[in-house]
């Protein structure tokens, strides 16, 4: 898997198409375009992805003592999926 654009990411409406609900961008550091031409809700969800992944990784460490619990298994699966694993 190729490296992703590091977070934080920000969702913004296209400034040249003011008010178009289906033309949102996700921007990374330095205004790198991560994704474009998205509905607002999708752009906001994608922009939250780096924060959500970091939260899952912190949770995984906190739940280490219960490594066989359903929640711990699901957390590891979600992290693997986000990082290109299965």
DSSP class per residue in 20-37:
-TT-EEEE-GGG-EEEEE
* Residue 22 within a domain: yes
For residue 54, give its domain range: 10-82
* Residue 2 within a domain: no
Structural tokens at position 34: 């991560």
Q: What is the pTM of this model?
A: 0.76
pLDDT by position in tens, the chain (length 86): 456 777 899 999 876 666 667 889 999 988 889 999 999 999 999 999 999 998 888 877 766 656 677 888 888 888 888 888 76
Number of separate domains in the chain: 1
* Residue 5 within a domain: no
Q: For residue 14, what pLDDT is reported?
A: 75
Asked if 47 and 33 count as a contact pair (C-beta separation under 8 A), the reply is: no
Q: How far is CA 68 from the centre of its chain?
A: 26
* Residue 1 within a domain: no
């Amino acid at each position: 898997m190729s490296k992703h654009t590091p977070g934080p990411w920000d969702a913004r409406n296209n400034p040249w198409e003011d008010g178009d609900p289906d033309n949102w961008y996700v921007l990374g550091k330095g205004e790198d375009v991560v994704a474009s031409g998205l509905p607002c809700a999708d752009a906001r969800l994608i922009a939250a992805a780096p924060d959500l992944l970091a939260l899952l990784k912190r949770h995984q460490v906190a739940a280490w003592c219960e490594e066989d619990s359903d929640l711990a298994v699901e957390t590891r699966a979600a992290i693997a999926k986000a990082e290109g694993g299965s």
